Amino acid sequence: MTILIDDAGYGDLLHGAVIGAYRPETDNFVYDVVHVKYFQKPLFKKQAYRDETALIAQKLVKRLNPRKDEKIELCRGDILDKAAVTLKESYGDERVQRVKVEGRAQDLIEGAYLDEIRNLGYEPIPDRTEKWSKSFWHMYRWLKANPRMIKYAKTGWPRLNKNNLLRI
C-alpha cells in the first residue's frame, strides 16, 4: 500500500493551495487547503506556507491511518519540501520518498483545487495546466472585473508588486 501526496494551485494567482493524499489501493482521497493568507504579506515572505503544508500533510496521512510498512510518496514540488522532512521524522527515511505524482492522484487533487476556485465564482480555462500564462492572465482579468475578490489572490509573490491591482 502507498499514500501519494501532491499539491495543486500553488503557482496560480487565485486561492490557496490544495494538498491532497490518495491511497490507490483503496481509492481513498482526502485533502485540505493551505489558506490564501499564507501567500500574502506578511506570511508569504516568512514562507509560513511551508509550515502549514507540513502540518496539513501530517494530518492527511494520519487520516488515512497508514500501515506500519506503507510507503508515503510526495510530489517533488518545493511546497512539499518541509512536509517531506517532517514525514520522514515521523515515519522514517525508508518509508518516505519524493516522486512525480501522476494519474488518478494528480487528477483528484487538481479537481479539488478547481472546485475550490469555482466556489469563488471563477471558471478556469480548459487545459489551464498546459497554458499557465494564459491561465494567469485569465485569473487576473477576472480579479480586475471582481475587485472584491482580491482578498483571494496570492499577492505575496515579489513579481506582482509591480502591478497596482495586486499591490496590497
Q: Quote the DSSP letter at residue 67.
A: -
Residue reference for cell 486561492: 15
Domain spans of the chain? 2-162
Q: Which fold has domain 2-162?
A: Nucleotidyltransferase; domain 5 (3.30.420)
Q: Classify burial at 123, counting beta carbons within 10 Å of its beta carbon; exposed 0-12, middle 13-18, buried 19 or more.
A: exposed
Rounded distance between C-alpha atoms, residue 153 and residue 139, angstroms: 9
Query: pLDDT, tens digit, for every residue of 77-134?
Result: 999 999 999 999 999 999 999 999 999 999 999 999 999 999 999 999 887 766 667 8
Closest CA to 11 of 42, 43, 41, 34: 34
Query: pLDDT, tens digit, for every residue of 21-38?
Result: 999 999 999 999 999 999
Backbone angles phi, psi at 129, to 5 degrees: -75, -25
